[in-house]
Structure formats: C-alpha cells, structure tokens
Structure 1
C-alpha cells in the first residue's frame, strides 16, 4: 500500500514518530486540514506500538501542530496562519497601493520559486505539475470557470513545493491565502476579461515547460511575465468594474427619469 509514512527502522520511540510527522508538515507533504490515518492504521504503517504513537500525537498536539476535532480524527493544524490580523487586512483592502505592493512582492518571490523549481524539480514534481496543467486545460476547454480559478492557485502552490525550500513554500502559502480571502484583487474578475483565460493558460504552460525542461532563466522570465500580466489585468478589471458601476447608476437614473415623466403626464391626460 502506498503511503507517505515510512517504517521507523531503529529506535521506535515517540520522538522518532514526532520527527517523521514534523518533517512531513515542514516539507509541505502534510497540509493544513489534512487528516492523519486512524491510530491502528498509522501505527501499522510506521511499525510502532499504539501507545508510542499516542504519546507522539499528544506531543504534536500540545505543540499546536496537530488538532483533534469533535467527532473523531486527528488533523494538521492551521500552522501557516494569517500574515496580517483582521484589522490590517481590512485596512489594506481599501488602499490601492496595497494591491500594487502585493503584486510586486509576488512577482519577485514567484520568480525565485520558479527558478529554484527549474533547478530542483524531481520527476515526481514534474509529473505533479503536468497533471495540474492537464486538469487546467480540461477546465479551460469545458468552460469550467470556477475549477479553472481553483487550479490556478493549486498550480502556484505546487511550483512553490517544487522549489524544495520550506521557508519559501510556507511564505508562498501564506501569501496565497490572502489572495484566496479576497483581500486584494479578484481573480474571478480578471478571468472575465476578454482573452484573459487564454492568456493565463498560456502563461501557466510556459512556467511549467520551463520547469519541466530544467531551464531556470526561462522559468524566472515566465513567472515575471505572468505577474506583470496579472498587474495589468488587475488594473483593467478595476477600471472595468468602475465603468460598470457608473453605467448601472446612469441606467437607473434614466429609468427613474422616464418613469417620472410618464407619471407627470397621466394627470394632464385625465383632465382634458
């Protein structure tokens, strides 16, 4: 049976179990919210006694790495957390410069991630990225817009994983969480722009191909070009959204004016 957990060959102690699970969390194999196998199954996979496993899980839970949920089950805790507290998120959401700074930051950090991924990605990493791109292409071909947006975020997370630097990985995950929470620009609105879906798919392919081919320079350039496009599209989407808001106000006003004119003419007609 395939499993991410491995047999503990020598000292079968709670510390050895703790170190293995810590490593899986640190390297991003286990993510926030992932459920661990049941006690019996996990003890069997790691080849340790259930009392040793219980001690290890209790220690990890005490350190805030695991959490036991009501109804049963042990899960990876939300260890990435929030970059900013709620008051700061609400503050930056109302200032355009925050979005510009966020995209500038992403442009630099994703360029590094893509370059490192092109140098370090294993065959398994490349297979993972290839599978994500295939699903992205299928969602695009079937006009499954919501899935395409979800896979967009999954792809960027996977590139961070392929860089094999756990500090970079968890920094990126925290960064993308802000985006998923809608603190900055709307990915959905960008995807609605004419030609945007085709352009974004092409950019994601370019990043993948550079990583697959082990070309760090091309990977960096593709990542930078992608975020540069997102910057431009974000500004355009913002303008388009404002234009739509104003157009709706005008339409509402004209409709109200026509209704008012019809109402003022009716009494005159009745009295003639």
Structure 2
C-alpha cells in the first residue's frame, strides 16, 4: 500500500476534523505557526494541505483575515487533464521538454533540500527510495513510475520552498507521464537500470549528508544521463527501422 506524503496525510486529517465538526462552519483556523506545531509538521506541508482544502471548497482564505471553514461537505470534483499532459500523450517526443524543465527545477530543489531537510524529510526520502527500488520489475509499470515520481517529489518537498513545491505538484501528472515513458525505454534494460539506481542513491545520500553542491550535481547528472540514454535508444530504434525497411525492399 502506498505511503501518503506528509501533506496528503495532513489534508486527510484536516478534512476529517472539518467534516466531523471539530472545526465548525465559519470558524477561523488557528494561526499557521500554531497549527503546524500542533500537528508536528513543517509550515510548507501545512500550507499545501490548506491550499488543497481551499481548492475542494472546504476552506476559504481571506486576505489579512486568516483561513476559515467554508463548507463541511467535500465537493466532488470531476477528473480533468492538463492540456500539457494531452500534448505529451499525443507527442512522446515532448518528453525531452519535460526533462529540460526538470533540469531547471530539480537541481535547485536538490540544493535547497540538502540545506533545509529535516529529520522527517530525510526519513521520507529514504522510504521513497526503498519503495522505488522494490517496485522495479512490477507487473504494472505505473507502480514503478509513481514510486520514481514520489522519490523526486519528496526531495522537492524537503526544499521547503512553497512556490517550487506547488509548481512541481502542478507538473506531477506530466512528470509521471515522462517517467512512465522513460521506464518503457530505460528501466527494462539492465545496463541502464543499474546506473539509474546508483544515481538515485547518490542524490539521496547527498541530501541526507546536507551537501547542496553534491545534491545539485547528482540531480543534474541523473537527468543528463536519462536524456542521453533516451536519445541513444531512439537512435538504435531508428537504425532498426531503416534496416527492416531495407530488407523488405531487397526481398521484393
């Protein structure tokens, strides 16, 4: 069973407190610092949970006034898909655009995670890494894709940069699509999977060691390897297609 991230656990706790009447309609939530201390979580995790509940219509934020209970019944939300996700599904080559964005975001995220990660963050990163390794070879490729994405997102969460975290959350489905496609190409090949595993381990250990330069370098080298490997595999497949076409023409 997938272990929920801290912000997701907190979202569920707050939602249960609202729907059970612990927080009543119109009631103002305690101050952010007090609420974070009450739950024993970081303020970025608390803010993410609150933003999730605002998007669900349970809470409302009033500038200068705080956050209030708006509704005690969760609103059903219809599933939607980002236009970027649809674009990626129709044009797999855009996975390289995804990798470029990841280069820009995850190198900095790893840097700040190494500087700011709490003991709880580090334990979460370690757990995500272990689950990612355990999922290798799963009958459902998306199990491994989700575990990979969870590992990278755990590092972003440890950066304690709320804006960066929300950007990555919004890109999360796109990131999963990127990883899923990469898994089809990479993780089934032993000569590629082993370096990927080592790169993930190096990234984790750099963050756990609170070494920002090493962490940023590990993140960037990992993504560069993924991009180079994909391009190499694509080139091999193109050569096979050309060779097959040549044999077909010769046989006519």
Question: So what's the TM-score if we normalise by structure 1?
Answer: 0.61
The alignment status of 1:200 with 2:196, answered yes or no, reads yes
Match of 1:166 in 2: 162
Distance in 2 (CA, whole Å) between partners of 1:251 and 1:138 is: 42
Q: Which residue of 1 aligns with 2:76?
A: 68
**Aligned counterpart in structure 1 of residue 208 of structure 2, from 209, 212, 215:** 212
Task: Tell me the CA shift for residue 248 of structure 1.
Answer: 4.5
1:27 equivalent in alignment to 2:27? no
d(CA) in 1 for partners of 2:30, 2:205: 37
Preserved contact between residue 178 and residue 184 of structure 1 (Cα < 8 Å): no
Distance verdict in 2 for CA 1:183–1:230, change over 3 Å: closer
Higher mean alpha-carbon deviation, 99-108 vs 115-124, is at 99-108
Instruction: Quote the offset at 1:199 in angstroms.
Output: 0.8
Question: Paired residue for 2:40?
Answer: none
Query: Which moved further from structure 2: 185-194 or 215-224?
Result: 185-194
Aligned to 1:148: 144
Partner of 1:82: 82
- SS of 1:239's partner is helix
Cα deviation, residue 93, structure 1: 2.6
Q: Deviations over 1:146-192 (max 9, x none)?
A: 23333111111111111111210121233342243459964321223
Matched-pair contact (CA < 8 Å) for 1:28–1:161:
no
Distance 2:155 2:169 in 1: 11
Contact 2:126 2:204 (8 Å CA) reproduced = yes
CA RMSD of aligned residues (A): 4.3
Please, what TM-score do these two structures have when normalized by structure 2? 0.66
Say whether 1:112 aligns with 2:108: yes
How many residue pairs get aligned? The number is 214
- Tell whether 2:124 aligns with 1:124: no
Cα distance change, pair 201–90 in 1 and its aligned pair in 2 (3 A):
closer
Give the 3-state SS of the residue equivalent to 2:221 in structure 1. helix
Structure 2: distance between partners of 1:92 and 1:184: 14
- How far has the Cα of 1:223 moved from its partner? 0.5
- Would you say 1:175 and 2:190 are equivalent positions? no
* Cα offset, 1:69, TM superposition: 6.1
Other-structure match for 1:56 = 71
Question: Residue deviations 1:222-266, cap 9 Å, x none?
Answer: 001111111101211221332343345456667x74xxxxxxxxx
The match for 1:93 is 91
- Name the CA distance, whole Å, in 2 between partners of 1:225 and 1:191: 17
Q: Is the 8 A contact 1:129 1:159 kept in 2?
A: yes
Structure 1, unaligned runs of 5 or more: 40-51, 59-65, 71-76, 258-272
Unaligned runs of 5+ in 2: 1-8, 36-43, 59-67
Q: Distance in 2 between matches of 1:246 and 1:67?
A: 53
C-alpha separation in 1, matches of 2:230 and 2:101: 15
- Alpha-carbon spacing, 1:18–1:83, altered in 2? closer, same or farther (3 Å): farther
Q: Is 1:224 aligned with 2:220?
A: yes
